[in-house]
């Protein structure tokens, strides 16, 4: 396995906390799926994709804490779509805006290492500030990404309790008295232990949906002690509002990075309208999390 490089970049959790404090705790998605392209009166082509994506970059750069492009909606256009995604990430990076690439990668050994190099190394063509990853080949299978992210001042967000209705079938399942979700949270807590001792957010985040109801408490998950940034999808189109955040996350509310996509993107195609919608969402979640 390749030895991770040493970086002078500030730790991911420190950078994320600063961005959340400055702009409000909000992550805005860039999800150029067919329905939104049509709503913006754009063709379902690479040209339409590029216009949509770069309009979002103009609206969100230096205005929100984090932007999360959904890789699938770029990949569906092939290599030219991936090139647009790389431009989105580069332009947001140049603007000083943090990014989470939503690609949900998960594999073993050299394959996981290759994913890590592609998205989390300093010279990876699709590098972002953080990457979403899937732990369902075992939390330990993510080690190449976990270690490279730590070494380069980047982060990962590990699926823990997702907002889709099929998630509990796997995530709530138990072995030896502990749920799969609890095992994932325990892994994140161990990797974030040094950051927790400093009172900082760690580089291993967790994806916990804002629509999971009482699952966090029912499964006995100590999200606060994990020191994990908590990416919370489910606001807006999936039915959750800012008020749900307090009920779901409790004492871990200060770690929560709510994610919105369609509720902001539907305000397009005007840059001004998109920026305004994002600002309103940021204020709403700031009020909800205090």
Domains detected in the chain: 12-283 (3.20.20.70)
Mean pLDDT score, 140-157: 98
> What pLDDT is recorded for position 163?
85
Instruction: Identify the pLDDT of residue 2.
Output: 53
d(CA 75, CA 71) in angstroms, rounded, equals 6
Determine whether 104 is an active site residue.
Answer: yes
Mean pLDDT of 73-83: 98
Work out the percent of the chain whose per-residue pLDDT is above 90.
87
pLDDT tens digits for range 211-260: 999 999 999 999 999 999 999 998 766 667 777 888 899 999 999 999 99
Task: Give the per-residue pLDDT at 198.
Answer: 97
- Rounded distance, CA 180 to CA 134, Å? 12
Mean predicted confidence (pLDDT) in 193-221: 96
Of 33, 87, 93, 104, the active-site residue reads 104
Rg (CA), the chain: 18
What value does the mean pLDDT of the chain take? 94
CA atoms within 13 A on the CB side of 138: 6
Q: Give the pair of three-digit tokens for residue 29.
A: 């998605």
User: What is d(CA 280, CA 89) in angstroms, rounded to the nearest whole number?
Assistant: 24
CB 128 within 8 A of CB 89: yes
Residue 88 has pLDDT above 60, yes or no: yes
Q: What average pLDDT does range 25-54 have in this prediction?
A: 97
What pLDDT was estimated at residue 195?
98
Structure confidence by residue, pLDDT tens digits, 256-290: 999 999 989 999 999 999 999 999 999 988 887 76
pTM over 0.75: yes
Q: What is the pLDDT of residue 238?
A: 62
The pLDDT tens digits for 113-139 are 999 999 999 999 999 999 999 999 999
């Amino acid at each position: 396995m390749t030895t991770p490089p040493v970086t002078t970049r500030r730790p991911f959790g420190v950078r994320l906390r600063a961005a959340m404090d400055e702009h409000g705790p909000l992550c805005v998605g860039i999800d150029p799926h067919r329905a939104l392209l049509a709503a913006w009166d754009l063709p379902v082509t690479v040209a339409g994709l590029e216009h949509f994506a770069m309009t979002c970059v103009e609206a969100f750069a230096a205005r929100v804490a984090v932007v999360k492009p959904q890789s699938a909606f770029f990949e569906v256009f092939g290599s030219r779509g991936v090139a647009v995604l790389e431009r989105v990430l580069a332009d947001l990076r140049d603007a000083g805006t943090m990014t989470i690439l939503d690609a949900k990668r998960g594999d073993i050994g050299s394959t996981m290492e290759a994913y890590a190099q592609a998205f989390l190394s300093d010279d990876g063509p699709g590098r972002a500030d953080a990457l979403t990853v899937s732990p369902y080949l075992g939390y330990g299978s993510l080690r190449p990404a976990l270690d490279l992210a730590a070494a380069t001042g980047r982060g990962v967000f590990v699926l823990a309790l997702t907002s889709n209705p099929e998630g509990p079938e796997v995530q709530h399942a138990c072995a030896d008295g502990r749920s799969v979700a609890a095992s994932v949270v325990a892994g994140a807590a161990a990797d974030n232990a040094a950051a927790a001792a400093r009172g900082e957010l760690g580089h291993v985040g967790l994806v916990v949906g804002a629509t999971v109801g009482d699952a966090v408490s029912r499964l006995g998950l100590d999200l606060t002690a994990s020191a994990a940034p908590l990416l919370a999808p489910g606001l807006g189109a999936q039915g959750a509002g800012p008020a749900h955040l307090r009920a779901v996350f409790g004492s871990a509310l200060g770690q929560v990075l709510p994610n919105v996509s369609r509720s902001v993107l539907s305000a397009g195609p005007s840059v001004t309208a998109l920026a305004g919608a994002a600002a309103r969402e940021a204020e709403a979640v700031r009020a909800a999390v205090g």
